[in-house]
Copies of this chain bind each other. A is one copy, B any other.
């Protein structure tokens, strides 16, 4: 394989945030454009849901402090590591040693990349859920691993994620020694049940597999669903990394902050990789971690409630549209919306939607090649604009529905 062929597999043309760079294609435009304020559902709107109050002020204080904040050890500054470790221990229900078990990273993407790079050798089999975060499969590809897909039958029941546990065991039996999954799931927004988490941990232990649990959205869980932190369970595998960061619910994405915590040996390897990847999470930016888990009274509760209201308003728009459905989000800001057969391809429709209605969404195929009738939206948006955008989507859909 040449370097060109390797990178051909890592397509990013349809990745969230990259849409404006797409080359012009001839689109089959039907009817009049649908006017309305543009909504970019590919990521959250930090103007509609502002960053944690006080975050800029601690950043400013960090710059003012100067040298100790500008350069830190690769894992991060000691005082920040200590605070974050204590908060994550309390949040997840199991201890975190700040000297051994945690590393600050450039965003949660950085944490994922380090965790994958510190565990995959060329030819290694890696189990990945379908659908799951689009970068997961690309990281396996980049590090020369072989992906073994594990199905998630998320439409079956709202009581569990629907992960195919037999399929996961088959992947382990087939030689996979690494399993990465997001919980709450991205793009579906479903949460793994307690029984599913216990079963995954037990299987990983049985097969001596390494687990990477991406809990990015675990602070944004809607009432009615229980969340289970795998790392706090009685029976867990020896090699376990949990990933989280204050980028989403807290709207701190512009600072690129992530954390990985878990098994000492893996954190050691991740530190070595960080040393050649980006040296550290930006020094001054590390100061912003100080606001995390220390938001003003009521801030997180209000934020979760605001997102629940947007979710419900969007579900209300689509509830009576034939062939359109989505599992109600249990955690996070995503809806994975299923659409009926159209006269045009999914990718064409998504480009038409952007062109005619100023609505940007992410095609299901980013999350697994079989998701040809789905797209993902991030509903962390202005509520009225988001509802209007989804109404334009419904209007446009009817112009392309297959009869």
Tell me if A278 is interfacial: C-beta within 8 Å of chain B.
yes
Give Cα A69 to B56, complex, Å: 14
Partner of A275, one of B66, B135, B255, B265: B135
Tell me if A386 is interfacial: C-beta within 8 Å of chain B.
no
CB under 8 Å from chain B, chain A span 9-23: 10-12, 15, 17-18, 20-21
Give Cα A169 to B282, complex, Å: 39
Give Cα A277 to B73, complex, Å: 20
Give Cα A20 to B77, complex, Å: 11
The oligomer's copy count stands at 2
Query: Given the complex, which residues of B lie within 8 Å of A18, measured CB to CB?
Result: 73-74, 275
Give Cα A67 to B378, complex, Å: 14
Tell me if A363 is interfacial: C-beta within 8 Å of chain B.
no
Partner of A71, one of B6, B10, B43, B121: B43
Contact: A254 with B69, CB < 8 Å? yes
Contact: B272 with A10, CB < 8 Å? yes
Knowing A17-B74, A63-B254, A74-B18, the reply to whether A110 touches B278 (Cβ < 8 A) is yes
> Within the complex, what minimum Cβ distance (angstroms) separates A273 from chain B?
7
Q: Which of A4, A73, A138, A278 has the most CB of B within 10 A?
A: A278
The chain B residue sitting closest to A66, CB to CB, is: B47
Contact: A282 with B256, CB < 8 Å? yes
Can you identify 18 A-B contacts, CB atoms within 8 angstroms? Answer: A1-B121, A3-B269, A4-B265, A7-B118, A11-B272, A18-B73, A20-B73, A46-B67, A46-B70, A47-B67, A50-B66, A106-B278, A107-B278, A135-B276, A254-B284, A256-B280, A256-B283, A282-B285
A positions within 8 Å CB-CB of B: 1-4, 6-7, 10-12, 15, 17-18, 20-21, 43, 45-47, 50-51, 56, 59-60, 62-63, 66-67, 69-74, 106-107, 109-110, 112-113, 117-122, 135, 138-139, 142, 144, 251, 253-256, 265, 268-269, 271-273, 275-280, 282-285
